[in-house]
Every structure is written in structure tokens, then in C-alpha cells.
Structure 1
């Protein structure tokens, strides 16, 4: 056999090996993760599995570093170890998901060096290498999410990874083997058109000396510095505007009327608030300051007044004012792109919560599209219960975790 033939034979063996053992991605790029103490070292795609090689490290708490040489010592002829501070395990319901499509998911098959039906104790400074075997990702899915679920106590460690990039090109015939679980409802709910409020009967003109004063300052929420702003409101059917180059404002209002104020500052996400002076205990004047969030890439902004039917993704009319404000911001800033994110509490089935949060994010996206926003500027994604703001211990904490946010992805 000559040199060229030998080289060709060797290349054939290598190609055959690659086809058999699949693609390997060392230290894959991860866009976001919920815990820094776990990392993905490698992802291997074989004919049968998606194999995720991971490493957990139990960090030493402050003050323990200097005691590390004494973590193990002889005492009375027996070895003494510092007590375990937490436990780890991999929830058997752990899934891999195609981002943005909760119906394309890949089950956990087995694990190595980490339990699934029980927990493994870990001590300060411990490093645990373990492996998780999942159903094989469909060819062409080169970005996926890893959902490990939620902790049942403060001593349990859990982790989630979003946007894991791997080598997994489409096969030449372009066919995929994704396992799709059918949905009972495939389309986002119809959007109920907002009804305009009927004009209130005009009240008699109030003398200036009887006006109620509302005053305050518009601030940058990050720097706490005043920012130039514009406040608009309706009075007797007329649209009025108050512009302030210093951020300070002072407006006289009729004490018998209800007002809806909109606060706008260039480069910031605006704010709305309503005021009915007659219903307030304060008389004569009101002080209302505003802290606006700057529009910067990566900024997460909560949408506090978004409401859905219970356990459904149908938007309620009470949500329209907040969503209109978001639509107005996107019209005023045509270069901005966002990702709408849906979140739930930890009550109920994990997969159903993930699907519900995704459907709710899609409902918000649909509303914005119907308001004239290009769908290419809006991404929608659900995270279920994997990104809680509170512990889910009380109803108030669960309510806080049930939310819709948006993240600025481009500006």
C-alpha cells in the first residue's frame, strides 16, 4: 500500500469514527445560567444519546478558606470531617429543550456519578464530575436549554442553562427526528381590542386657587440623577404636555377629576400612573417622583400590570395600558429589539408551567404585533419556575414569581 492510499484509508477511518461517535463540543458557549457552581465541560452527540459532561464545585464559604488545611484531621484516632452543608442530585424530570419550542424536548435517560432518586452530600471544597445522558438532539438543533427544575429546600442545589451552543449540523437529507408532543391549542389567543372609555361629562371650571398641585422629580433609576422629561395627560378631553429640562415638574389639576399621567424621557422606559385627588387622604398637594429605567442592552424590565385568565394565557383587558406603553416605546425606538419572558411559580407540573409561561410570552408578542411592531423585533420565551425572584414559600412570594418581563437584546 503506497503513502497516498494509506492516507486515504486513515481519513476514511477518522470519518467513520466521527459518524459513529457523533459530534463533540468542548466547553460549549452558554448564554446564561442560574448557578455559577456548576459548569458544562463537554457535550457529546452519539447515535443514541446527548451526553452532557458536567462539574459541580461546592465553594468554600467566606472564612473557611483559611481553615481548608484543617477540614480533615485526626481526633482520638478517628478521622474528623467538616459536616456536609448541602446535597446534590439530578431531578429525573430534567429535560433538554429547543429554545422557544417547549414541545421539542429530550428526556433524561440515565446519569453517572450523581443520583436521581436521592441526594448526594457535598462538603465545602468538594468537586464532583458527573455525566447526564439524554435522548439524542435532533440534527440541526445547535442551541438548546437545560432545565434541571427547582429546589425543594434551601440545602438543595439546582441549576439551569439557557442557550447552550453545540456542533449538531443537519444531515444531508435534511430530515430530523425531533419528538414533538402535540399541543391541544396551537395558536395564540385572539387579542381583545381595547375599548375607548366614554367621555366623562365636563365639570365646571375650577378656580386656580382651588387647584390641587402635583409635583416631583423624574430620576434615572441607576444613577439617581434627574433627567429631562415630558409628562402628558388628558384634561377635559384635551391632551396636555408638561416638559421639564431639569426633571422637576409642578402641575395643577382639578380635584374632582381622575387623571392618567404618562412620563416619557428619551433613552428611558417610561412610566404611567393614575390619580384621583378626591379619593386621596392628602389635600392641597401631592409629591410623586419617578425612577425611569435606561434603555440599554441586557436590561431586564418588569411589566407589572400584565394579567391573564387563571392558568391560561388569554390576556385580560387590564393589561392593555401596560402593553400599549411597551408598544409606544418600541415605535419611538425603531432599532430596539426585545425578548419577552414569561415566568410562573413552582406550583404544579414542571412541563406545564414551562408551556404556560411560553404561551403567555407569545400572547404578549402577538399583542405587540397587532399594534404594528415588526415580529422580527420580538422574541418570546418561557422559563416556567426556573428563575424565581422569591422563595415560593408564601402566596405573596408566588405572586411575585408569576410575572412577565422583557429584556432589551439590541438597541
Structure 2
């Protein structure tokens, strides 16, 4: 056998093995994940399966673990004990990012239970394997979605943006997951016989799982750089958290529920936003980027949800949540001092508007004092219509000018 023939033979063997064993990605890059103590070590794509090799490490030592949303406890287990339980939800899916209709089911799992929980102790390492339906060729990024936490004492293992080798095959198109049956050749006229009467059976109803996702990035409002953040939300009475070291977040949500999200980051003034998927025209996936203002001397921060009775300075109850957040921030940062500033539009008497804005700023100060903030840390000042944000040419512009802000004067 010549050298060229031997080389050709070896290449043929390698190509044969690649076709047999599929594409392998060792330690695939992951954009974001919900728990850092679980790793995806390897992804192998065969003709039949997407095989994901995973590793769980129980690193907590006695007395060090604090009760938090990322801790799965056995019933009756006390905080500080050295064991927890793990399992893989049988409803775990792989999704094509941004397309919840392209999903791949969990077929089986090895070395981890799917219908119960396995106890693990501090220092334990559990290597396990999950077999999913085969990713369609060409999908080289996927989301591993176990689901939403069922309580505040557990977490689910969700990985977003998992990058693997899965190129589209040359000279062929991606095969759809559902392949229609080939049409049978039509019989000739001579072969046509009267159809026999058969009892029609109703087609089985396929119930699709309901699933939606909200994703986005938390930014510094000044530098536009991504910042680590904590997203807190309430689902079915449980307060849940998602911590992101990069600022990117993706959270599975129930499309029939209404959510109130709170975004916090160290050194920044947090914010809230609401989401009611059922009332939105968007289906399946929602994008919400967040811009937080840094806590620095001279920074002006708007209080968007402050409301007063018309032409008065009496705070409405809808303002309390925003002011409570401001009071909490001042308690967490005891050296911060602020100046609350009231502003109005240019409709009406100038002097009366100036007085009204001053009284509204004082109302905010009084509220904060009643929440336990030292009066010496708060200054109140009204500017009337002297510092407009817009031209006051329309109601929308005037509404923008009627506002309450605070300026950080000391930190």
C-alpha cells in the first residue's frame, strides 16, 4: 500500500468515526447560568441524541450554607446541615434561543434521578449524563431549560447560550423534527372501489406546555457597560432571585401570571418594572434592558412613580413603593445625603408653581423621615417651572416636566 493510499484510508476512517460518533464539544462556552455549582463538561451529538455530560459539586461546609433561593433542601432539613438533594426535572428541554417552538425533549438520564431526589453531602461530586432529542443540524447555540423554581428553597439548572459544534450538513437541508408521511400513489380509475364506512375517531389533543421567557442586560446608565446585578421577582407567592455576574439575564416565566421585577446592583440605584405577558402582543419571548444610575455625588436620579393629588402636595398611595425603595437605599448607604427636588410645568401662576413644587419636595422628605431616615440627610427644594426637560408645547411634554428627582449631595 502506497503512502498516499494509506493516508486516504486513514482519512476515510476518521470521517467514518466522525459520522458515527457525531460532533463533540468539550467544556462548551455558556453565556449565562442559574447555578455556578453545576457545569456542562461535554456535549456530544450523535445520529440519535444530544448527549450532555454534566457535573454537580456540593461545596458547602457545615454551618456555612445560608438559606437562599439556590438551596434545595429535603423536607424537615435545617439550615446549616451538610446535605441537600438533587434531581433532573423530566420536563427539561433544549431550546433554540428566541424560538420556544423549536425544542428538544429529555429522553433519559444516567446517574441522576428524574422522578425523585438524590441526597448529596458536602464535598460530593456527581457526574451525570442527560440524553435529549438530537439538535437539528445548524443549531450551534441552545438553551438548557429545566424550568422555574417551584419554591424559594430550590433552584433549577438553566444554561443559556450553550455553544456547540453542529454545522449544517453540506448539500443538504436541516431535517425537521416532524417528517410528514410520504403520499401513497393514487390508484388508477379501474382500481377505485367504494370506500368502506369506518367509525371516525377524534384526533388526540396535543397539549403544548406553556412557557415564556424574559431576557435582557443590565447596564451602567453613564458608561453603557454591563454590570453584575440581582433580579428579584415574585411567582405564586414565592420571592425568587436571579443573580447575574455579567449583567445578562434570562428568566422563564408563566405567560398567564403578572410579574413585578426588581433590579439591584451594588453602587447603583435600583429600579422596578412590571410584566403581564397575557396583555402583551409579544408571545413567548420578551426583551427588557435595564439602565441603572450609579450612586455618585452630583448624580440626579428621577423618581418616576411619584404621584400627588391634582394641584396639591398630598402623596398618593401609588408613590409609596418608589419612596420605600429610596428609603431602603439610604439605609443601606448611611453616608449618603440627598436633595429632593420638585418640578412643575409652566401652566398657571409662576409663584404658585414654585410653592407647589417646594411643598411636594417637603412631602417626600417627610415620608422618608417617617421611614426612619435622619432629617439632616435630606434637603428639600422646589424649582417650579424653571428647569424643564421639554418645551411644554404639548401635554406629553408638560407631563414630562412635572416630576420629582433627587440629587446625591454626599456619599
TM-score where L is the length of structure 1: 0.49
Q: Looking at CA atoms only, which structure, 1 or 2, has the larger radius of gyration? A: 2
TM-score where L is the length of structure 2: 0.49
